[in-house]
Amino acid sequence: MRGVTPFLFYVLLLAAPLLFDYIAVVRLVTILSYAYIMSIFALSFSILLSYLGLLNFGHALFFGFGAYMTAYQLLWLGVPYPIAIIISALIGSLLGIAVAFVTRKAFRGIPFAFITLTVQLIVYFLYRRRELRFISGSEQGLLIPLPEIFANVFIPLISVIVISILITECIYDLKREFSENLANNRSRYIYLLWIISLSIIYVIILHTIMLMLSSRSGPYRVSFNLYVMSLTLLFIVYMFLKKILNTNLALVWIAIRDIEVRAETMGYNTFKLKAYALALTGFVAALSGGLYIIYSQTINPDTAFSPLVSVYGLIYSVVGGLYLIEGSIVGALTVTIIERYLTDFLGGWNVVITGILFITIIIFLPRGVSYYSWIIWRTMWQKLSILVLGKKFEKAYAVKRNS
């Protein structure tokens, strides 16, 4: 069952706000929604870095354009938010193709990093000029009115639809997996166990969301809606990217990353394939930009195009761990939560501690947080399943580990 673990995480995180209510950390909902938005951004950055070896220091260009395009559509054209965000994501992917054409001559390594950084900096410094205040908002930024959709009571139901689709898919998967030996007594037992647990999860989620809908109102509902929206989008983007990275396209990307000339001699048009990757990551990054403006309610050149945004993309993906796309999500969550909470406790010293943390994580956890947490997770499951299901499973795991 490949799809179950991310699904479980999704469901647990979706139910988390209720838990936060009980232990009185309501602020965590806002922090986590920021972390999810940044995870989407980090995902796009990390794919470009780990599958194509392209370090994109100008990745904030896509993020900023996504944010500004969404803002323009909301402010000037009055486009409804869901359509606006999709249009700006498409613009982001077009921008990715444009960047690919600009960097055509030096599409690797340090020159690529610095060409994209330059393009981004030109946009950044132009947007910061006071002469362009009417489109950039200058230092104060453009104020974005909250789209009506976020005050809507029924937003959380989107997640219910997603979950229903996923559960049906899960059941089909299970059926396929167990179809050969459903006559076997134990298999049938495990199959039933799966179905029962899935339905229990479904009921719990429905209950949680109904509770949320009925008891909450006002500003809390907005932040809860944003939480659900960003989490669901993160999940959809994650599953979508996972699907893409399982195709042959990703294999060719890896071939290009390792030795580009070899891929070229094998007859692949490497420029076209890299442009695809840039279009894909541009789409995803612009999507995160479109979500970000709802979180911050304002957008200015410093939050959109500052080089620090791309640097944070790099930090998220390296702290979380490269070559595993889950890594960037873990990295974004870790870094964001640590940073936000340190601000509460330490005041001015928070940034110092953050810097020390980055250095220690890189030195002592060289493969990223996600790798080590995955190992802990795996050993925990092994121990648990051996404890619950008996000695028979120990042998199965031993065989798996050897192979």
Partner 1 sequence: MISEMSLEIFLSALVDGIALGFIFLMFSLGLSIIFGLMRIVNFAHGSMFTLGAYIGYEIASKTGNILYGLLAASASMALLGIVIERFLLKIRREPLAQVIITIGLMILLDRLAWIRWGDVSYIWYPQWLEGVIYAGPIIIYKYRLFLIVFGLFISILVYILFTKTKYGLFVRAGIDDREMIQAFGVNIERVFTATFSIGSMLAGLAGFLLVPWQGVYPLIGTNYLLNAFAIIIIGGIGSLEGTIIASILVGIIQQLCAYYVPYLTEVSLFIVMLSVLLTKPSGLMGKVIE
User: With binding defined as CB under 8 A, does residue 314 bind partner 1?
Assistant: yes
User: With binding defined as CB under 8 A, does residue 356 bind partner 1?
Assistant: yes
User: What is each CA distance from 375 to 43, 123, 227, 361, in whole angstroms?
Assistant: 21, 43, 28, 16
User: With binding defined as CB under 8 A, does residue 80 bind partner 1?
Assistant: no
The site that binds partner 1 (CB under 8 A) totals a number of residues, namely 39
Assign 104 to helix, strand or coil: coil
What is the rounded distance in angstroms from the CA atom of residue 80 to the CA atom of residue 149? 8
What is the rounded distance in angstroms from the CA atom of residue 3 to the CA atom of residue 89? 26
Q: In sequence order, what DSSP letters do the residues of 153-190 get, joined into one string?
A: TTTHHHHHHHHHHHHHHHHHHHHHHHSTTSSSHHHHHH
Could you say which residues in the range 18-57 bind partner 1, by CB under 8 A? 55
Among 125, 172, 189, 377, binds partner 1 (CB under 8 A): 125
Residue with smaller CB distance to partner 1, 3 or 355: 355
**DSSP collapsed to 3 states, 83-96:** HHHHHHHHHHHHHH
What is the rounded distance in angstroms from the CA atom of residue 174 to the CA atom of residue 135? 53
User: With binding defined as CB under 8 A, does residue 354 bind partner 1?
Assistant: yes
Residue with smaller CB distance to partner 1, 118 or 297: 118
User: With binding defined as CB under 8 A, does residue 376 bind partner 1?
Assistant: no
Minimum CB separation of residue 384 from partner 1 in Å reads: 34
User: With binding defined as CB under 8 A, does residue 358 bind partner 1?
Assistant: yes
Q: What sections of 143-269 are H helices per DSSP?
A: 156-178, 185-215, 219-245, 248-258, 260-265
- For the chain, helix, strand, coil in percent to 5 are 80, 0, 15
Residue with smaller CB distance to partner 1, 1 or 362: 362
Residue with smaller CB distance to partner 1, 145 or 348: 348
Among 152, 184, 355, 377, binds partner 1 (CB under 8 A): 355
User: What is each CA distance from 355 to 79, 306, 376, 389, in whole angstroms?
Assistant: 41, 19, 26, 45
Among 203, 362, 375, 376, binds partner 1 (CB under 8 A): 362
Which tokens is 390 given? 């008996």
Minimum CB separation of residue 315 from partner 1 in Å reads: 6
User: With binding defined as CB under 8 A, does residue 352 bind partner 1?
Assistant: yes
Minimum CB separation of residue 16 from partner 1 in Å reads: 29
Among 3, 80, 82, 109, binds partner 1 (CB under 8 A): 109
Return the amino acid letter for 14. Answer: L
- In sign, the C-alpha dihedral spanning 273, 274, 278, 280 is positive
Could you say which residues in the range 89-108 bind partner 1, by CB under 8 A? 102, 105-106
Interacting residues of 374 by C-beta distance below 8 A, sequence separation 6+: 324, 326
Among 32, 74, 100, 119, binds partner 1 (CB under 8 A): 119
CA 306 to chain CA centroid, Å, is 20
Among 359, 375, 396, 398, binds partner 1 (CB under 8 A): 359
- Give residue for tokens 């996600």: 370
Interface map 274-313 toward partner 1 (x if CB under 8 A): ---------------------------------x---x--
Among 115, 170, 228, 325, binds partner 1 (CB under 8 A): 115
Q: Which residues bind partner 1 (CB under 8 A)?
A: 55, 102, 105-106, 109-111, 114-115, 117-119, 121-122, 125-126, 128-129, 131, 307, 311, 314-315, 318-319, 322, 348-349, 351-352, 354-359, 362-363, 366
